[in-house]
Amino acid sequence: FEEILNDSNQYVKVDSHALEQSALIRSRPREGLIIWETPYAKRQYWEIKTAVKDVNPNATWRWFEFAKSQHLNKWVRQIDKAVKENL
């Protein structure tokens, strides 16, 4: 879970760091939920396709989907390994 959150936060739009910090505060790992919760989070994720890259050069809209496109195989391997280790 932590790896998925960290990988996703690599691509979050950053101004004051509130958006990426909200995921660290609001996410619910036991439920498998990563939550970016600021007043503007949904709009930044779904509607605004541009990103200012001076603070985070990797910033993009729909950052979780982008992270998934880049890291899904790694996430699946890590989850598979964790499941096998805990059987």
36, 45 in Cβ contact below 8 A? yes
The CA-atom distances, in angstroms, between 32 and each of 2, 23, 26, 40 are 10, 12, 12, 22
Per-residue pLDDT of the chain (87 residues; tens, 9 = 90+): 899 999 999 999 999 999 999 999 999 999 999 999 999 999 999 999 999 899 999 999 999 999 999 999 999 999 999 889 988
The model's pTM is 0.88
